[in-house]
Amino acid sequence: MAESIWKTSEIAATGPLAGVRVLDMSSVVMGPLATLMLADMGADVIKVENRGGSHSGDMMRYAGSSPTGDLGPIFMALNRNKKAVTIDGRDELGKAQLETLLKDADVFFHNVRMAGMARLGLDYESVKAINPGIIYIHCCGYGAEGPYAKRQAYDDLVQAASGWADLYAKRSGGDPSYTPSLVADKTVGLFATTATLAALVHKERTGHGQFVSVPMFECFTFFNMVENLYGQTFPGDGKFGYTRSMNPRRRPYPTKDGFIAIVPYVDRQWERFFEIGGRPGVFQDPRFSTYEERTRHTGDLYAIIEEVAATKTTDEWVELLDKEDIPAMRFNRIEDVPSDPHLAATGFFMDAHAPHIGDYRTLRHPIAFAGSPVNQRLAPQCVGAQNHELPGAAND
């Protein structure tokens, strides 16, 4: 039965990873986002969840209400194109099922602390003994070499420890704050996708699998510090934080009837923006006449933009700035995003139906592959939906 369960659905995968097999023991957000990307791109992904209790499986199944009780809205967004099985890795049948699935997998992916996986006999060396060519992706909280190695990591903890939450304090002069989004989980999930793809390329070239560690703290700190190491990049007493993005006036600007985002970038755009806004002399001010000086005086510049933005309606600005090829976007409330005309034209929000769910809304995969387009083959599955396909199942 192992061969049948690796076949993702009756609809053939068309994406660039068609034929790649991923055994996925990740849960919540970070790992499932990574394997969603792989699944959308054509990989056959089997999601393995814990068995037992009234709430079997990934805890994110139960975050938010759903028609089935086990397909919550966040789980729905992260787990299409994956088969769902429940296995108890502590009993003999479960161990045998995992071993059979691992033998045929290209990638073994999880975000469980390594001590727990070792107790199940699923540490790297044990899995490598089953499948010498396996790519073993471990999404961990912290790198194994540091003193935090055995600690748990969650989005809030990593936002706090990475300096991310401090950006809000530095910008406002008030208290630190978390971003109202699972930004660390999602960012590191994309790091894990990239790591998996790179390991697949390495295996294609060399024939060798490998162990890959994706530490959440280090990945998100890297993400944060790309621009915010800033003044500390070279010796001296420079400050952390990119001056433009740290400025408290960096925000959508109020117009006569709403808000708009305006980002003139090159000299020509700045000069023309101030002319349109009735302030033709601003660009000649030495504080704003070059990119370097504008960066040093970002706060003053944003204050003037705010004054100018308030002189017209949002529609007037959009029309004028589009004609002049000056970057600008209408501000959307989150409630407005599904009706955004561009997203509507591209079919980004998709209405779908599955017999076990009913009607639901999902998101189109955002990347377009001309030669190997992605497709949606399988709706998110209920707990253990494919258990009958497992090797050794009662109906074998």
Whether residue 228 lies inside any domain: the answer is no
pLDDT for res 3: 53
3-state secondary structure 87-154: CCCCCHHHHHHHHHHHHCCCEEEECCCHHHHHHCCCCHHHHHHHCCCCEEEEEECCCCCCCCCCCCCC
Regarding whether 259 and 317 lie in a shared domain, the answer is: yes
Whether residue 231 lies inside any domain: the answer is no
Mean pLDDT of 200-220: 98
Regarding whether 370 and 323 lie in a shared domain, the answer is: no
The model's pLDDT over 153-195, given as tens digits with 9 standing for 90+, comes to: 999 999 999 999 999 999 999 999 999 999 999 999 999 999 9
pLDDT for res 10: 82
Whether residue 196 lies inside any domain: the answer is yes
**H/E element, 341:** helix 341-346
pLDDT for res 94: 96
The larger pLDDT score, comparing residue 393 to residue 13, is at 13
Regarding whether 258 and 357 lie in a shared domain, the answer is: no
Residue 82 forms beta bridges with which residues? 45
pLDDT for res 1: 41
Contact predicate 383/82, CB 8 Å: no
pLDDT for res 8: 60
CATH number of domain containing 258: 3.30.1540.10
Contact predicate 262/327, CB 8 Å: yes
Q: Report in angstroms the alpha-carbon separations of 46 from 110, 281, 306, 343, 385.
A: 12, 62, 51, 31, 11
% of the chain residues with pLDDT over 70: 97
Regarding whether 158 and 21 lie in a shared domain, the answer is: yes
Regarding whether 88 and 14 lie in a shared domain, the answer is: yes
Regarding whether 130 and 164 lie in a shared domain, the answer is: yes
* 5 CB-near residues (< 8 Å, 6+ apart): 46, 83, 85, 101, 386, 389, 390, 391
* Confidence tier at 53 by pLDDT (50, 70, 90): low
Q: Is the pLDDT of residue 21 over 80?
A: yes
Regarding whether 371 and 319 lie in a shared domain, the answer is: no
The model's pLDDT over 58-103, given as tens digits with 9 standing for 90+, comes to: 999 999 999 999 999 999 999 999 999 999 999 999 999 999 999 9
Determine the 3-state secondary structure of 45 from DSSP. strand
Regarding whether 268 and 161 lie in a shared domain, the answer is: no
Domain boundary among 304, 330, 356: 330
Regarding whether 377 and 323 lie in a shared domain, the answer is: no
Regarding whether 193 and 311 lie in a shared domain, the answer is: no
Whether residue 248 lies inside any domain: the answer is no
Whether residue 341 lies inside any domain: the answer is no
How many domains is the chain built from? Answer: 2
CATH number of domain containing 358: 3.40.50.10540
Domain boundary among 330, 357, 381: 330
Whether residue 237 lies inside any domain: the answer is no
Q: Is the pLDDT of residue 281 over 80?
A: yes
Regarding whether 261 and 180 lie in a shared domain, the answer is: no
Regarding whether 290 and 210 lie in a shared domain, the answer is: no
**If we measure between CA atoms, which residue out of 345, 371, 372, 350 comes closest to residue 360?**
350
Whether residue 109 lies inside any domain: the answer is yes
- Host domain of residue 287: 253-330
Q: Which residues of 285-318 are buried (b: 16+ CB within 10 A; e: fewer)?
A: beebeeeeebeebbeebbebbeebbeebebeebb
Q: Tell me the pLDDT of the chain averaged across its residues.
A: 95
Whether residue 239 lies inside any domain: the answer is no
Q: Is the pLDDT of residue 52 over 80?
A: no
The terminus-to-terminus CA distance of the chain in angstroms comes to 7
Contact predicate 166/246, CB 8 Å: no
